[in-house]
Amino acid sequence: MKNLSLYRNKIIKSLSKLLTVDENLINLKGKTVEKLGLIGNEEAIACEVIVSLNKYD
C-alpha cells in the first residue's frame, strides 16, 4: 500500500483550488487498519471526510 504522504500535497492543492480555501486551512491525515478486513488486506480502500466551514461577513 502506498503511503499517503506521496499524494498529500497534491490532494491539498486540489481541494484548495476546488473549494477556494487557503491551503493552510486544510488538514489531511491517513490511518491504517492494521491488516484487518478487506482494507487491511489491501483489497479495498475507504475514505472519510469531515468538513467544518464558517462564513464570516
pLDDT (tens place) for every residue of the chain, 57 residues total? 467 778 889 989 999 999 898 999 898 877 777 777 887 787 877 777 787 878 787
Range of the domain at 13: 1-57
CB 46 within 8 A of CB 39: yes
pLDDT of residue 2: 60
Tell me which residue of 54, 53, 11 sits closest to 30, measured CA to CA. 11
pTM score above 0.85:
no
Number of domains in the chain: 1
